[in-house]
Structure 1
Amino acid sequence: MRAWVIRAGENGERENLALEDGVLLVAWQGLGNLTTLTTREEIKAAVAAAYPDEGPYTVGNWTGQLYRFVHEIKPEDFVVLPLRSGRVAVGRVVDGYEYQAATAGDPRHIRRVEWLIKDIDRQSIQPDLQDSMGSLLAVFELSRFAAAERVAALAEGKPDPGRPDADEFAASLTEPTKLYEEVRRRAADEPLALSIRDFLAVWGVQRRYPAAVEQIKNDLDQRGLVTVPPFTEGSINSRIAVLAGGAEPDASGTSAMTRFTDTAAVPRGDVEADGEVETQTVSYHVSNLESANRMPEFVRVGASLKSAMTLMVLRGYSQLPVLDAGGRLRGVVSWESIGRAHMADPHASLEAATVRGQEADRSDDLLDWIGTVQQSGYVLVRDRDHKVCGLVTAADLTVQFGTRVRPFVLVEEIEQRLRRVVDRCIPLDLIRAVIPGRRATRVNSAANLTFGAYGHLLKVPENWAALDWAIDQEYFLAALEECRQFRNSLMHFSPDPVTDDQLLPAQGLLELLRSMDPQN
């Protein structure tokens, strides 16, 4: 049994047809019947012939999706259909591939499906499975973390049971009181350890916004709890321990904090030498990057230069750290340093090719190191014991800041499209009518409206009718309100990136606006 996601068009345009007729459909209208094409190579040749202007990447990508649709998806497999409403439908495949003659541009490539449930709320699906469903491919398999078994549970109307390797303790901590009780129940030498992601979920939040951090800090203070390291530092997947920081000393006269920081394997980078915890403020530290918390590959002092070069070629690395037996940095070997060493001595050793490496502390301000990473291409990361614990490259920064810019770009285009269509379709006096008091006189166009004002404006039947959009007003206004809340959340700093799943509402609204107002 396997589980697949089959989209009903780029913007869900075939959604109703799929649900009403019990079918899975993919377009690729330039292709004929694929029934007799039994290998990837045959399908690839057909795709290349049907779409001669497409490059090798696109041809290969489409070939993989079509091969899966025709040959790999089997009867009794489960299928997930993401819906424009934000919900999902789940069904079971009942038959093999079919080809139908196209009528009025309808898709030709079909699989029959029995829809078992058509309105699953995404809130009943765990974030990791939601992320897996977020691919932009039209046809792809859900294969990670027992996805097929979890989709089967959804098909029975049950909530997603979650990953088999999920932290059961974390899943049971559904409110702060339960967290407090769990810490109190445990022995001092067996503290509660969980990821920052799971820790935040106890308060029902996904990212470390200032308001959420302040609430959590107050709750911890009231309960006499403390996290080590502070939950405000490290990546969202970093692990922390929750301790009874205010508990009385034990028989030896030491606190739980001191006993833990003397023995724990959890990084101690945020605990001062006197056992006091640093102020838990939200800032953007080096440790907020995933790669800063992931041990890089390395070579030991005394290894051969040949082994370093082999590893660099195999992994596609530009440099490798050279560490001593205690895990501390002794230098870096790079292709440039290797070249220089060989120019002096064709039989140069690893030591001769090792140069000084850039090294940042986990708690350093990331912005202070951007110039260094830009210039040298990397910076190694160390913990408080001066042991290497991560590596940040220019590529890591590109991905990180690209991820952070994308939500703002999406929201900006949504606002621009709303302004344009409102100015074009709704008279200024009607726009001003939804603005209370004297502020209305200062409105000269839709550009003067707040994001929230668009919802009030388009609730008015006369204004909605002026748009002449063939879409459901209630769904649109609900999507607009969800996007408004998302936009507001972006305005509050958080060191945690926005996930693909959190972007879905904004992406869906933008695609709808592009469809209704296709002008550039």
Structure 2
Amino acid sequence: MRAWVVRAGENGEREHTALAEGMLLAGWLGLGDLTGTATRDDVKAAVAATYPDEGPYTVGNWTGQLFRFAHEIQPGDLVALPLKSLRVAIGRVAGGYEYLADAADGLRHVRRVEWLVKDIDRQAIQSDLQDSMGSLLTVFELSRFGAADRIAALTDGKSDPGRPDADEFAAGLTEPAKLYEEVRRRSADEPLTLSIRDFLAVWGVQRRYPAAVEKIKADLDSRGLVTVPPFTEGSINSQIAVLAGGAEPDESGTSAVTRLTGTSSLSAAVQSAVHAAERLPDEESQEHTVAYRVSNLDSANRMPASVRIGDALKTAMTIMVLRGFSQLPVLDADGRLRGVVSWESIGRAHMADPQASLEAATVRGQEADRSDDLLDWIGTVQQSGYVLVRDHDHKVCGLVTASDLTVQFGTRVRPFVLVEEIEQRLRRVVDRCIPLDRIRAVVPRGRASRVSSAANLTFGAYGHLLRVPENWAALGWAIDQQHFLTALEECRQFRNDLMHFSPDPVTDDQLLPAQGLLELLRSMDPQN
């Protein structure tokens, strides 16, 4: 079973018909019967013939949506229909594609549906699933984060169970007060542990922006709580413990943090947190900043494959061949680094002695502390191809390679490239369609004379410019103005957030609003 969204028009104009007659309606004025189509190429040919003035991007985009509507959606699949009332209807697809030739244009492409519920409050749907529903496409699949099972739960009158990979207990900590009470309820040897991602969600934030970090730290300080390791360190998926660091000593004269060090029945994650807690700086000297640490990379928190002192060299070679590794750390019995074996070091050792041991092939390895500034190690990783990562006890806890850096910074660059294309397309269409004097009219008088084109506008100024009826009409776009301006404002806020440093990557779901706006701009202005 799969789950889909099929919208009822840009302004919900097909909503009443869809709900009253048990139909999914695809729209696409002027397009003929798709019953005889069997492949994407067949649908594409029909779309291109009906809309000869549209460019390749638009034709391809519409082809994908219509092919999904006519062929990929199957009887038994679930479908969600976002309503103008800010509620959601959910139904089960009951039949194949139909073309109603006698119906009004725009109501001819049909799939029969049995509406199971028509009034789900969107607030009952968790934010990640709401974001997935936020695409500007008419027909698309909800495929991420267990969407089909979650939609099915909503139809049964249950609450949205959330992401299948989410911590069920952490999901219940919906506000700081609940987190405080949970920490208070627990005994010293049973601390509250959760991921940084789930910890941030208690305050309703997804990334560690400076303002959010300051707010959370102030809240923790006022309640006498501390996170170990600090929630500003590590990747968004790292585990932390939340402790009553400011509580008075017990009868033995020790703090909650110190008492944990004597507890042997703790999980590995909590034991690591305890060791980190012993090294926490005092409250007065602790810097309230977020830096881009080595530990912010997921790979820095993932124990790499390794060999131990005393292993055979052939063991290291076998692991390297099986895993496709260029090097392998050599650890002592306590998990601390004693060196690295690589194909180069193996070759040199064999040149000196064909029966060389692992010890003979082991050379010094590059090792960073997980709290080091990542930027300080980029040159080393570029030159050597890797750097090993050690934790607070100087035990190896991760490995950062050039590939990890490429993925990480590629992920961080992508949102900026996306926003830049949105701005470029806005500039081009505004310069082409709106006279300079009207562009200058939205700029404060003192700066208007310095505006020579749309390139001199701030991103926020485009909203003011296109809110003017005369300017909007000049674009000649057959889309809803208010929906466009809302999407533009969401993108402005997204762009502003990008300008504030955060060590956490932007997720695909967080990119959805900007991606939807870009898709719309590409459709309205298909020039390259």
Fold match (TM-score > 0.5): yes
Q: CA–CA distance in 1 between the matches of 2:341 and 2:229? A: 32
Q: 1:167: which partner in 2? A: 167
Q: CA–CA distance in 1 between the matches of 2:229 and 2:492? A: 34
Q: What's the CA shift for 1:199?
A: 1.1
- Cα-to-partner distance string for 1:84-140 (whole Å, 9 max, x where unaligned): xx998754343579999xxxxx9xx9986556568988875546767999999x998
Q: CA–CA distance in 1 between the matches of 2:355 and 2:322? A: 21
Q: What's the CA shift for 1:5?
A: 5.3
TM alignment of 1:134-173, pairs within 5 A: 142=143, 147-156=147-156, 159-163=159-163, 166-173=166-173
Distance 1:87 1:494, change over 3 A: farther
Q: CA–CA distance in 1 between the matches of 2:201 and 2:406? A: 28
TM alignment of 1:45-84, pairs within 5 A: 75-78=75-78
Q: CA–CA distance in 2 between the matches of 1:248 and 1:299? A: 45
Q: What's the CA shift for 1:438?
A: 2.2
Q: What's the CA shift for 1:156?
A: 4.8
Q: CA–CA distance in 2 between the matches of 1:117 and 1:303? A: 63
Distance 1:128 1:451, change over 3 A: closer
**Stretch deviating more after TM superposition (149-158 or 243-252):** 149-158
Asked if 1:419 is matched to 2:427, the reply is yes
Distance 1:198 1:292, change over 3 A: same
Q: What's the CA shift for 1:180?
A: 1.6
Distance 1:266 1:357, change over 3 A: same
Q: Secondary structure at the match of 1:231?
A: coil
Q: Secondary structure at the match of 1:203?
A: coil
TM alignment of 1:298-313, pairs within 5 A: 298-313=306-321
Q: 2:297: which partner in 1? A: 289
RMSD in angstroms over aligned alpha carbons?
4.4
Asked if 1:265 is matched to 2:271, the reply is yes
Unaligned runs of 5+ in 2: 43-66, 101-105, 264-269
Letter in 2 for 1:265: Q
Aligned residues between the structures: 484
Q: 1:516: which partner in 2? A: 524
- Cα-to-partner distance string for 1:444-476 (whole Å, 9 max, x where unaligned): 221221111111111110110011001110110
Q: 2:380: which partner in 1? A: 372
Q: CA–CA distance in 2 between the matches of 1:323 and 1:241? A: 28
Q: What's the CA shift for 1:70?
A: 7.4
Q: What's the CA shift for 1:279?
A: 3.2
TM-score between both structures, scaled by the size of structure 1: 0.79
Distance 1:262 1:481, change over 3 A: farther
Q: 2:24: which partner in 1? A: 22
Q: CA–CA distance in 1 between the matches of 2:510 and 2:419? A: 13
Is contact 1:410-1:507 (8 Å) kept? yes
Q: 1:254: which partner in 2? A: 254
Q: CA–CA distance in 1 between the matches of 2:126 and 2:343? A: 43
Q: CA–CA distance in 2 between the matches of 1:312 and 1:284? A: 30
Q: CA–CA distance in 2 between the matches of 1:245 and 1:70? A: 59
Letter in 2 for 1:246: G
Is contact 1:303-1:350 (8 Å) kept? yes
Q: CA–CA distance in 2 between the matches of 1:132 and 1:291? A: 27
Q: CA–CA distance in 1 between the matches of 2:361 and 2:81? A: 55
Is contact 1:483-1:505 (8 Å) kept? yes
Q: What's the CA shift for 1:158?
A: 5.1
Q: Secondary structure at the match of 2:305?
A: coil
- Cα-to-partner distance string for 1:359-397 (whole Å, 9 max, x where unaligned): 110100100100111111111111011111111111111
Q: Secondary structure at the match of 2:211?
A: helix
Q: Secondary structure at the match of 2:449?
A: helix
Q: Which structure has the higher relative contact order (CA within 8 Å, separation 6+)?
A: 2
Distance 1:156 1:282, change over 3 A: same
Q: CA–CA distance in 2 between the matches of 1:324 and 1:501? A: 43
Q: 2:390: which partner in 1? A: 382
- Cα-to-partner distance string for 1:198-223 (whole Å, 9 max, x where unaligned): 11111111111011111111111111
Letter in 2 for 1:225: L
TM alignment of 1:17-416, pairs within 5 A: 22=24, 75-78=75-78, 91-95=91-95, 114=114, 125-126=125-126, 142=143, 147-156=147-156, 159-163=159-163, 166-261=166-261, 263=263, 264-267=270-273, 270-271=276-277, 273=279, 276=282, 278-416=286-424
- Cα-to-partner distance string for 1:413-466 (whole Å, 9 max, x where unaligned): 111111111111111221222223423333222122111111111111011001
Asked if 1:440 is matched to 2:442, the reply is no
Q: CA–CA distance in 1 between the matches of 2:511 and 2:165? A: 26
Letter in 2 for 1:342: H
Distance 1:134 1:340, change over 3 A: farther
Distance 1:77 1:420, change over 3 A: closer
Q: CA–CA distance in 1 between the matches of 2:273 and 2:323? A: 27
Q: CA–CA distance in 2 between the matches of 1:515 and 1:327? A: 56
Q: Secondary structure at the match of 1:266?
A: helix
Unaligned runs of 5+ in 1: 35-42, 47-65, 101-105
**Stretch deviating more after TM superposition (74-83 or 264-273):** 74-83
Q: CA–CA distance in 1 between the matches of 2:475 and 2:406? A: 40
Letter in 1 for 2:219: D
Letter in 1 for 2:183: V
Q: What's the CA shift for 1:347?
A: 3.6
Is contact 1:229-1:271 (8 Å) kept? yes
- Cα-to-partner distance string for 1:58-93 (whole Å, 9 max, x where unaligned): xxxxxxxx99x979x86424356899xx99875434
Is contact 2:78-2:151 (8 Å) kept? yes
Asked if 1:475 is matched to 2:477, the reply is no
Letter in 2 for 1:22: L
Q: What's the CA shift for 1:504?
A: 0.7
Letter in 2 for 1:463: N
TM-score between both structures, scaled by the size of structure 2: 0.78
- Cα-to-partner distance string for 1:465-517 (whole Å, 9 max, x where unaligned): 01100111011000000000001111110111111101111111111111111
Letter in 2 for 1:495: P
